[in-house]
């Protein structure tokens, strides 16, 4: 590969969207992101992979991010791990050299269950590594991606941040502005106390980091999955045909019994 091609690849952005059972959100996300990138004064060459987990097991957001990364690694230089319930209003998706969260203003407080509870949970947007995160591909490789062990809800982002900190890697932060799409938060009860699956995943987290050292062999290096369906999406613009891809996968590892018993799904 020539130096010019290498430089071109380094500026390509691959957006990874872990997904299941959020059709209404996805219908809003696709045109909003397409329109946002089309209006950028400095165009970004980007592609989007929506990675859907088949039904049957609790949702594994970290593993799906790993899957999406692998599917786009060869084409891109940096990746964006992007939840489907955050729509960009004013955010900088340009190339980064270090892990850089860009989720900021507009998402600080979210309801735990819209229409069923008046309780809210607060996100520290100056500390979180979740929601919308830009990652150089080589750094994502260096930290072995996300843990595959968190099923249901919670702690995969916290685990991921410790993988970065344990290696003393520098990080950045861009305070973008987003419109959140409200939904039931599986990490909390209607009273805004931790849910059963959140408590289980807290135990998983503590066990993985019990000796204070970086867990090894859990992430990209241990991931196994099968692609069940893979199709291009039409974003409604001639230039965007083929830019969006929807992939359905089966993860080839199982939750712990206590994760299943917690009723996550």
Average pLDDT over residues 246-259: 95
Confidence class for position 91, pLDDT limits 50, 70, 90: very high
Average pLDDT over residues 81-97: 96
Confidence class for position 193, pLDDT limits 50, 70, 90: confident
The residue among 65 and 105 whose pLDDT is bigger is: 65
Confidence class for position 246, pLDDT limits 50, 70, 90: very high
| pLDDT on residue 6 | 63
User: Strand ranges (DSSP E) for 2-137?
Assistant: 13-19, 46-53, 78-82, 86-90, 100-101, 109-111, 120-122, 132-136
Phi, psi (5° rounding) for residue 250?
-115, 125
Average pLDDT over residues 234-260: 83
Does position 58 have pLDDT exceeding 70, yes or no? yes
Confidence class for position 263, pLDDT limits 50, 70, 90: low
The residue among 143 and 112 whose pLDDT is bigger is: 143
The residue among 24 and 4 whose pLDDT is bigger is: 24
Q: How many Å separate Cα 162 from the centre of its chain?
A: 16
**pLDDT for 12-51, tens place per residue?**
999 999 998 888 999 999 999 999 999 999 999 999 999 9
Phi, psi (5° rounding) for residue 38?
-65, -25
- What domains can be seen in the chain, in order of their start residue? 3-261 (3.90.550.10)
The residue among 211 and 143 whose pLDDT is bigger is: 143
Does position 211 have pLDDT exceeding 90, yes or no? no
Place of tokens 């965007």: 240
| pLDDT on residue 2 | 38
| pLDDT on residue 118 | 81
| pLDDT on residue 200 | 94
Average pLDDT over residues 132-139: 97
How high does pLDDT run on average in the chain?
89
Confidence class for position 112, pLDDT limits 50, 70, 90: confident
| pLDDT on residue 1 | 38
DSSP state for residue 98 in the 8-state scheme: S
Does position 233 have pLDDT exceeding 70, yes or no? yes
Residue 18 and residue 80 in contact, taking contact as beta carbons nearer than 8 Å: no
| pLDDT on residue 239 | 55
DSSP state for residue 175 in the 8-state scheme: -
In angstroms, the CA 121 to CA 10 distance is: 37
In angstroms, the CA 97 to CA 174 distance is: 13
């Amino acid at each position: 590969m020539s130096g010019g091609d290498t430089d071109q690849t380094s500026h390509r952005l691959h957006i990874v969207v872990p997904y299941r059972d959020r059709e209404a959100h996805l219908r809003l996300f696709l045109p909003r992101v397409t329109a946002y990138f089309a209006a950028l004064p400095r165009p970004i060459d980007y592609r989007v992979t929506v990675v859907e987990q088949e039904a049957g097991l609790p949702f594994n957001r970290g593993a799906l991010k790993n899957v999406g990364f692998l599917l786009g690694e060869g084409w891109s230089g940096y990746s964006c791990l992007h939840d489907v319930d955050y729509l960009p209003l004013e955010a900088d998706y340009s190339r980064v050299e270090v892990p850089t969260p860009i989720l900021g203003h507009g998402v600080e407080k979210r309801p735990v269950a819209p229409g069923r509870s008046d309780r809210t949970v607060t996100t520290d947007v100056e500390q979180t590594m979740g929601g919308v995160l830009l990652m150089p591909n080589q750094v994502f490789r260096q930290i072995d991606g996300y843990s595959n062990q968190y099923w249901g809800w919670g702690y995969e982002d916290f685990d991921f941040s410790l993988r970065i900190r344990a290696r003393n890697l520098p990080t950045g932060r861009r305070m973008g502005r987003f419109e959140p799409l409200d939904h039931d938060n599986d990490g909390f009860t209607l009273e805004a106390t931790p849910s059963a699956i959140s408590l289980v995943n807290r135990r998983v987290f503590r066990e993985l980091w019990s000796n204070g050292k970086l867990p090894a062999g859990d992430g990209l290096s241990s991931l196994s999955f099968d692609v069940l369906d893979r199709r291009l999406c039409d974003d409604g613009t001639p230039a965007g045909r083929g830019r969006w891809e929807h992939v359905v996968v089966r993860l080839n590892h199982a939750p712990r019994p206590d994760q299943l018993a917690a009723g996550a799904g």
